[in-house]
């Protein structure tokens, strides 16, 4: 069992998939979880399920592509919660296409949702965390940000940007015992990948590049993210952990 000393966590994209699994796993360890998603329905359902299972959770609908909305939400949260000790930047979208066919809107949407959101949340939630001299920040990047992926220039750039942000903030916050790490999933079975996973031809092609020859589960990411948020992970910072069945060896 991992140690969490009465901690509170904010998880973005907690309405579905990986973020939901991270919120549920942290809650099972006694962490109070603030579940953020775009729609009130999805974060509301995650929080309700956690509370029904005996955990502590709050739902908050925030469009993370909107910096002003993040500022407003953070201000209200920091009045309600004395400290937010753990931040998991997980919300993300894809708008795939080869570069010559990629619109500027698709580029901007992916950068705003996947990368700029991390800048805003970390700046707002990270400040009181550094003052409290304890914190954990986990950024959910992607194998696409580590090795690149044709058709995902916007997404790979955003995810690689998260890695640079992780390493820089690990250095900036280290003196305050706030660790910053990244987890880079490969192909995980969620709504984001249904299209590929349910297509036998596409999934066979993807699995050629996965040494473990299967897709991952949200729990594979949640287990590592939860460990990185625990007391026990206090000597790990600035790292990127690939959880991808061996894709990016």
Q: How far is the CB of 230 from ligand NAP (least distance, A)?
A: 20
**Binding segment for ligand NAP among 49-57, 61-69, 163-171, 229-237 (CB under 6 A)?**
61-69
241 is a site residue for ligand NAP (CB under 6 A):
no
Count of residues in contact with ligand NAP, rule CB under 6 A:
30
Which of 10, 118, 140, 169 is close enough to bind ligand NAP by CB under 6 A? 140
Note if 227 is an active site residue.
no
Place of tokens 């040494």: 211
Tell me if 149 sits within 8 A of 191, measured CB to CB. no
Per-residue DSSP letter, 54: T
Strands of the sheet containing 57-61, edge to edge, are 57-61, 32-37, 8-12, 86-89, 135-140, 178-185, 240-243
> Under a CB-based contact definition with an 8 Å cutoff, are residues 125 and 76 in contact?
no
- Catalytic residue (one of 155, 173, 187, 241): 155
Among 32, 116, 142, 226, binds ligand NAP (CB under 6 A): 142
Whether 57 contacts 155, CB under 8 Å: no
Stretch that binds ligand NAP, among 17-25, 73-81, 121-129, 233-241 (CB under 6 A): 17-25
215, 187 in Cβ contact below 8 A? Answer: yes
Of the ranges 38-46, 99-107, 125-133, 228-236, which one interacts with ligand NAP (CB under 6 A)? Answer: 38-46
Print the binding letters for residues 68-107 with ligand NAP: x by CB under 6 A, - otherwise.
----------------------xxxx--------------
3-state secondary structure of 15: coil
CB within 8 A of 74, min separation 6: which ones?
121, 124, 125
Using the rule CB under 6 A, which residue among 10, 33, 38, 163 binds ligand NAP?
A: 38
CA–CA separation, 34 and 216 (whole Å): 25
Q: What is the C-alpha separation between 199 and 42, in angstroms, rounded?
A: 26
Asked if 163 interacts with ligand NAP (CB under 6 A), we say: no
Binding region for ligand NAP (CB under 6 A): 12-13, 15-19, 37-39, 42, 62-65, 90-93, 113-114, 140, 142, 185, 187-188, 190-193
The residues annotated with a catalytic role in the active site are 155
């Amino acid at each position: 069992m991992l140690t969490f000393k009465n901690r509170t966590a904010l998880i973005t994209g907690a309405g579905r998939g990986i973020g939901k699994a991270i919120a549920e796993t942290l809650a099972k360890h006694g962490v109070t979880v603030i579940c953020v998603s775009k729609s009130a329905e999805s974060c509301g359902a995650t929080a309700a399920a956690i509370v029904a299972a005996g955990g502590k959770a709050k739902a908050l609908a925030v469009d993370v592509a909107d910096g002003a909305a993040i500022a407003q939400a953070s201000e209200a949260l920091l009045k309600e919660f004395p400290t937010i000790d753990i931040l998991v930047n997980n919300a993300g979208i894809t708008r795939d296409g080869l570069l010559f066919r990629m619109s500027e809107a698709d580029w901007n949407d992916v950068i705003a949702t996947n990368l700029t959101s991390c800048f805003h949340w970390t700046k707002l939630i990270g400040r009181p965390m550094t003052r409290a001299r304890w914190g954990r920040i986990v950024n959910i990047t992607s194998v696409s940000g580590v090795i690149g992926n044709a058709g995902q220039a916007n997404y790979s750039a955003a995810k690689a940007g998260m890695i640079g942000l992780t390493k820089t903030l690990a250095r900036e916050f280290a003196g305050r015992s706030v660790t910053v790490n990244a987890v880079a999933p490969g192909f995980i079975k969620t709504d984001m990948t249904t299209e590929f996973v349910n297509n036998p031809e596409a999934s066979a092609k993807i699995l050629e590049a996965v040494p473990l020859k299967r897709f991952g589960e949200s729990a594979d990411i949640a287990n590592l993210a939860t460990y990185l948020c625990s007391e026990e992970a206090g000597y790990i910072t600035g790292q990127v952990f690939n959880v991808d069945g061996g894709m990016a060896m």
